[in-house]
Amino acid sequence: MDSGSTSTNCNDRDNVMAVCPECFTQEKQFFASKCSECNSVVPFWTQCWVQALWSTVYVGSIIGAIYFIFWCFFG
């Protein structure tokens, strides 16, 4: 029985990755004030705004692509 694979880590929130608004890499930790790739300081509210915008565009593009494929075949 492998009990280690289902256990949770108390530091899971430290590993939440986000988009850096300066260099657009996804290696920045969400709660970190400085990007580890470009060393630019990112304020928390700017990080929230950029992450919400990035997620909206990402999900919107997937929904738009699915809509376009259905429109091409069934429209």
Q: What is the pLDDT of residues 24-61, one digit of tens each?
A: 888 888 888 898 889 989 899 999 999 999 999 999 99
Amino acid 9 reads N
Average pLDDT over every residue of 3-7: 54
Is the pLDDT confidence value at 66 over 60? Answer: yes
Mean pLDDT of 12-23: 76
How many angstroms separate the CA atoms of 7 and 64, rounded? Answer: 37
Residue 10: the pLDDT is 54
Q: Residues 60-65: contacts with CB within 8 Å, 24+ apart?
A: none
At residue 56's C-alpha, the angle toward residues 52 and 57, to 5°, is 120
pTM confidence score:
0.63
